[in-house]
Structure 1
């Protein structure tokens, strides 16, 4: 049924009767996933067998997130709330979270689910709000506790944790989660060099540019949610834009040619410019081609502002 829903492209509208909404898939409580890189500590080369196993393990979760993000973006409010409520009542993602990759997956899911929920929460019933809010807050609590206990390096994953917890705090009105995400944002600012480079991500070999883009994506959304205006983040944005336009230059900086980027790796730019309107012609040189303008981990369609964004004129 879920496959049929995705293939149909969510043709239903917000006025469609609830009975027309396909039943949500069973809530998945556990996340069992492992890393797919085979060249630690650089982690730039993907083992195809491990990657296939990872994709198979998380496919139901990613499919659910894509479906929710798309229905929320398409205005199918009733169906979005029905699916979120079903997983909330089933304590989804609150069971066994095995290995670090599973924790990574949970925070990405939480970020996308919270941002999607922000698009429909105003239409939720009291019972739906209670169920979904409680669920998202429990997920955020798990993300925070794991992050605070983690003894390793805090890199791009920390930034995504900040967004996941911050989006949850913003959509539910939880001040503690918002405060925690602001702490993450401050740490990210400290990580960014005066040249806009993230030193830890520059060590990722052929994926150095990819991981700069993977890092800036949650930070741009988090900056808008928190209504911050960060000069350090602007340096990172400028660096990412310049590196994307001249990948030979980026290869020299990283010391190795860079892997080909996917089509959506600059789709966070509309979010950034809604919160930081270009003030000089200098930004015109950053004419990066945008891909889908649709990132499920950022709540789906990015052509229009998420309700949690702070848009500036």
Structure 2
């Protein structure tokens, strides 16, 4: 019995020593990454779901509650993944210690790499899945861009990520050019696709993808009404203002990031973009402005404070336009954040001026 007790004790001691040795053997970067990261979810390979809206809703404004819940459930793992990545990006932005900041940035790269090497999101089985995935690809591309080239030794992983994003972006272009309905090809869904494709184009220096994004942005702005409203979104009855904001979010962000990358105005008539931004903010403060257009009371609660995520695009907007009047509208509400735009937009853009001078050579 004594021998058995000694054997058991020695085994526990040996196991403890192995654990201690392994911990000591970890590089500072690996140890910091382990302490600062989250558990990467299993890559989502395939999606297939129907519409959020009732089948007979021609304006896609009457929500089917059961279908809406099913869509939200299917997309939740991806959206949670992007939210977690955006939180890590925001932590990295605030971190002054270089090792810890790099650990956060490595977390982002390693997590997205696990999805890239699995070729995640490679099977969109339904029309509505194909409509929904571009905004998620855009969110992943933006958080990746914020961590890219920041940590030595990750270039092999980064190349795999960029190749994966390239495939998803090319599929997005193919879908919107050949399968998307006339409405989807011109409304907020096109704006989200444009942001994703443009971001991936910048990452890969793919001028074809960038040009598709620029043309998409140009078309969105050209189709806006003189007052700054988007006619296709105004047709969405009680959800019109919601979708106006849902379109402005990627549209403004895409233009700002394309300008910052050196591709000129990114398809933007900046004067008209300012009209669209001011209309959107005025309507959030008083949704009755939209009700006068389409005759329907709006689901959006009045007031900027009630819609912080939906107006986070104002940060890249003022960096792009230097619209001081608009800055005064929301400065007291900072920080503004939206996970699909890379997290804390105030940290990314406050105090910065983005030039729309053409500098990109590719």
TM-score in terms of structure 2 length: 0.76
Q: CA deviation at 1:310?
A: 6.5
Q: How does 1:95-244 map to 2 (within 5 A)?
A: 96-124=123-151, 125-153=154-182, 154=185, 155-227=187-259, 228=265, 230-244=270-284
Tell me how large the CA RMSD over aligned residues is: 2.5
| Alignment partner, residue 18 of structure 2 | none
Write out per-residue CA displacement over residues 73-112 of structure 1, whole angstroms, 9 at most, x where no aligned residue.
2211111111011000000011x20223211221011110
The separation in 1 between residues aligned to 2:337 and 2:40, in whole angstroms, is 22
The 1:19/1:265 distance shift into structure 2, 3 A limit, reads closer
Write out per-residue CA displacement over residues 166-185 of structure 1, whole angstroms, 9 at most, x where no aligned residue.
01111232222111111111
The separation in 1 between residues aligned to 2:180 and 2:127, in whole angstroms, is 12
Out of 78, 96, 116, which is 2:106 matched to? 78
Q: CA deviation at 1:47?
A: 1.9
Contact 2:90 2:347 in 1 (8 A): no
Contact 2:51 2:71 in 1 (8 A): yes
Out of 48, 52, 68, which is 1:36 matched to? 52
Contact 1:244 1:288 in 2 (8 A): no
Contact 1:115 1:167 in 2 (8 A): yes
Q: How does 1:245-256 map to 2 (within 5 A)?
A: 245-256=285-296
The structure number with the bigger radius of gyration is 2
Contact 2:85 2:143 in 1 (8 A): yes
Structure 1 residue 295 corresponds to structure 2 residue 338: yes
* Structure 2: segments with no counterpart, 5+ residues: 1-28, 93-103, 260-264, 302-306, 357-362
Contact 1:166 1:180 in 2 (8 A): yes
The separation in 2 between residues aligned to 1:244 and 1:291, in whole angstroms, is 17
The separation in 1 between residues aligned to 2:353 and 2:202, in whole angstroms, is 12
Name the structure, 1 or 2, with higher relative contact order (CA <8 Å, separation 6+): 1
Contact 1:104 1:157 in 2 (8 A): yes
Structure 1 residue 90 corresponds to structure 2 residue 124: no
Contact 2:86 2:343 in 1 (8 A): yes
Deviates more, 1:297-306 or 1:217-226: 297-306
Deviates more, 1:17-26 or 1:143-152: 17-26
